[in-house]
Each structure stands twice: as structure tokens, then as C-alpha cells.
Amino acid sequence: MKIVMVGAGNVATHIALRLAERGTAPVQIWSRHLESAEELAARVRCLATADMRCLDTTADIYVVSVADVAMMDVIEKLCHHCHDGVFIHTAGTMPMDMFKGHCAHYGVVYPMQTFTKKKDLDFDSVSCFVEASDAATFSTIETFARLLTSHVQQLSGNDRRWLHLAAVFACNFTNACYAQAARMLESHGVDFRVLLPLIDETTRKIHSLAPKEAQTGPAARHDYNVMEKHMEMLEDTPDLHSMYKLMSEIIMNDC
């Protein structure tokens, strides 16, 4: 496959590196910022550009992996210049039909994972959820997705949106809680890393237990005495106080 990456951010970087690892490196990287395109292109040994007019118009696949807010503008400009091939975006919440009316063959490959440029990733463990405009295009998109991982599933756009929302709760919100915990500990001279065994064990448990069954802590025990003391400690931080109260109520209602 002749593949052009449209974007050079976290997701695009890991997809391009994985394609190169599998012997199908992109032929070109586009980014609004030429420096970003050149940096990624150097890693996978291909061409870089910040000019849509310079994109290869003979590619089999164009992978659009940019911020959601910029996607429609990028798609319109991309499809105006490149008319043939299969067009794919990688977003969790954006509809496949963003391409409709701009190109003939299109779809989605949503790799559900947290991506950071500077952190290596085992793509073998990543699941990709795919959708396509028609059966022939689906075959091409599925083949592309299997270059990334063997864990490929077809999923409708509506179900993909709910999957993305669930991922935000499971990953982004959880990590935000880690950040708050780190600030609490650092303000008292305690290294955040003392929590890592606790975090790791919590993660290991949900491989064999349902999250509801794995829940522990004062709210799960309905230990109002401890919860009241915790909320007293948070009186000077109203947002965290409200968050603690709400999360405790959710846990108590669920357990």
C-alpha cells in the first residue's frame, strides 16, 4: 500500500512508526507545521510537507490524524487536491460521513489507546475499530488496520462514540486523578511513586474481576466517618471537595 499520513501528532506518529516497522512506511507526512512533519518523516524515512498542494496524488490510502477541531478543514483541502484512493480518519468521536461529498471511498480506523510521542508503545496489544463507506472500501481499510494490529473489529460510528466516552472515563479522568494525587503528595514532601504499587494492583485486579467487584475504599464500605474527615481536608479546594463528594456518591450507589 502507498500511504500518506495527514498529521504528525501523537496518534499519527505511532501509526507511522508502526507502518514502518511492518515494512509499509508512509511515502509522505503532512503537517501544518513543517518542523513536525520533518521530524516524523526523518524517523520513517519519507518525504515531508506542510503544503497540501505538494501531497502525492497517487496514494492508495490517506490517513487523516489531526485534532478534531481542525479535521473538517483538513478533509476539505485534502480531498480537493487528492481525488482518488481511500480516505481514513482516526478519531473516536467524529463521524465517518465527514468525508461524504468530498471523496468516494472513506472510513475510520480508531486505535483505542493512549498515545504519547515520547513513549514507546506495543501496538500488538492495541485494538482497532473500523468502519467504511462500502464493502470494497471496508476490505481495504481492514487490510490497512491489520498492518497495525491483529485486533481489528468492525464498529458503527454511534457505538464508537460510546467507546470513546468510556475510554475518557477509564483513561483520561483516571490520569487526572493521578495528577491531583501527585499534587497532594508533593505538597507534603511525599513522592508520587509510593502510589504505583497501589495503582498497579488496582489495574491487575480488573483483569480478573469486574470493576464493581474490585471497588474498595471508604465509599465502598459506606464509612461516613472517614469520608467526612476527607471532605474537611478538602474544604479549601472546592472543586476537589465537590469531586470527592460526587465520586463517593457514585461508588456508594453502585456498590
Alpha-carbon distances, residue 71 vs 78, 159, 162, 245 (angstroms) = 10, 20, 20, 37
Q: Where are the alpha helices (DSSP H) in the chain?
A: 10-21, 34-44, 68-81, 135-148, 157-167, 174-186, 196-205, 211-214, 224-233, 238-254
Distance in angstroms (rounded) separating the CA atoms of residues 126 and 18: 11
Confidence band, pLDDT 50/70/90 cuts, at residue 118: confident
Residue that is written with C-alpha cell 521530524 in the block: 39
Tell me the average pLDDT across 206-213.
95
Residue 169 has pLDDT above 90, yes or no: yes
Task: Report which of 171, 172, 193, 169 is spatially closest to residue 181, judged by C-alpha positions.
Answer: 193
Q: Quote the pLDDT of residue 247.
A: 96
Residue 162 has pLDDT above 80, yes or no: yes
What separation, in Å, do the N-terminal and C-terminal C-alpha atoms of the chain show?
Answer: 50
Residue 81 has pLDDT above 80, yes or no: yes
pTM recorded for the entire structure: 0.91
CB under 8 Å to 183, separation ≥6 — which residues? none
State the chain's mean pLDDT as an integer.
96
The beta strand positions in 97-146, using DSSP E, are 106-112, 127-132
76: left (phi over 0), alpha (psi -120 to 50) or beta: alpha
Q: For a pLDDT cut of 90, what percent of the chain falls above it?
A: 98
Tell me the average pLDDT across 11-15.
97
Confidence band, pLDDT 50/70/90 cuts, at residue 237: very high
Please, are residues 147 and 88 in contact by the beta-carbon 8 Å criterion? Answer: no
Residue 31 has pLDDT above 90, yes or no: yes
Tell me the average pLDDT across 125-136.
97
Alpha-carbon distances, residue 117 vs 135, 186, 241 (angstroms) = 33, 26, 34
CB under 8 Å to 36, separation ≥6 — which residues? 8, 9
Residue 255 has pLDDT above 80, yes or no: no
